[in-house]
C-alpha cells in the first residue's frame, strides 16, 4: 500500500512537471496545430501572403530610397560617377 501511494505521488509529480513544461513552451498549441490540417493550411496561407506583401513593400521602399539618393549624387555633378548614375536612373525610369 505504501509503495502504491509513493508510486502514485511520483507519477503525479512527473505529470505536473510535464504539464508545466507543455504550458511553458506552448506545446499544447503545437499539438493542436499538428492535429488539424485545415489549421496548418490556413496559417501557412496567411503567413505566405504576409511575407509576400512585406517583401513587396520593403523592396519598393528601398528601391525608392536608392533612386532618390542616386538623383542627389547626380545633382552634385561629379563627372565620371554622374554619367553612370544617369544611365542607371534612365534604365529604372524606362522599366516603369
Q: Give per-residue pLDDT as tens, 7-28.
A: 888 889 999 998 888 777 777 6
Provide the b/e sequence for 57-88 (b: ≥16 CB within 10 Å): eeeeeeeeeeeeebeeebeeeeeeeeeebeee
Distance between CA 20 and CA 4 in Å, rounded? Answer: 24
Contact criterion met (CB below 8 Å) for 63 and 89: no
pLDDT for position 43: 86
Please check the confidence at residue 85 and state whether its pLDDT lies above 80: no
pLDDT for position 65: 94
Please check the confidence at residue 52 and state whether its pLDDT lies above 90: yes
Amino acid at each position: 500500500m505504501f509503495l502504491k501511494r509513493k508510486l502514485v505521488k511520483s507519477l503525479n509529480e512527473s505529470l505536473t512537471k510535464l504539464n508545466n513544461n507543455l504550458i511553458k513552451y506552448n506545446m499544447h498549441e503545437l499539438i493542436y496545430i499538428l492535429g488539424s490540417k485545415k489549421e496548418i493550411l490556413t496559417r501557412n496561407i496567411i503567413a505566405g501572403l504576409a511575407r509576400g506583401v512585406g517583401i513587396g513593400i520593403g523592396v519598393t521602399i528601398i528601391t525608392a530610397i536608392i533612386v532618390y539618393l542616386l538623383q542627389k549624387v547626380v545633382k552634385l555633378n561629379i563627372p565620371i560617377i554622374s554619367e553612370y548614375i544617369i544611365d542607371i536612373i534612365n534604365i529604372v525610369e524606362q522599366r516603369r
